[in-house]
């Protein structure tokens, strides 16, 4: 387990479809994703991983507002459908 800015991630290796060994990093630290719908992401390099973690942490307020707007838009969409007699709930 590797840590950067109190966010945990791992180094992973795997074989590609043609048998070549490759590697990258995978993050699924739930504390990083509390303001977004993302649950994990991967990068090719350590620098990219640091940049992605920085992005999520440094833009928390933006992500909170985007999530609020997204949730409000979804609620309004279904409210309008129900108001027009459509009982579709997205299931």
The tens-digit pLDDT sequence of the chain (91 residues) is 999 999 999 999 999 999 999 999 999 999 999 888 889 999 999 999 999 999 999 999 999 999 999 999 989 988 888 777 777 766 6
* pTM (two decimals): 0.77
Task: Dig out the tokens for 71 from the structure.
Answer: 């949730």
**Cα–Cα dist 55/64, whole Å:** 13
Residue whose pair of structure tokens reads 């299931």 in the numeric block: 91
């Amino acid at each position: 387990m590797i840590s950067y800015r109190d966010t945990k991630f791992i180094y992973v290796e795997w074989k590609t479809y043609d048998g070549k060994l490759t590697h990258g990093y995978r993050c699924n630290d739930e504390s990083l994703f509390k303001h977004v719908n993302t649950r994990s992401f991967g990068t090719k390099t350590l620098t990219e991983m640091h940049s992605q973690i920085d992005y999520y942490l440094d833009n928390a307020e933006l992500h909170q507002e985007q999530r609020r707007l997204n949730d409000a838009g979804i609620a309004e969409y279904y409210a309008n459908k129900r108001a027009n007699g459509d009982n579709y709930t997205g299931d």
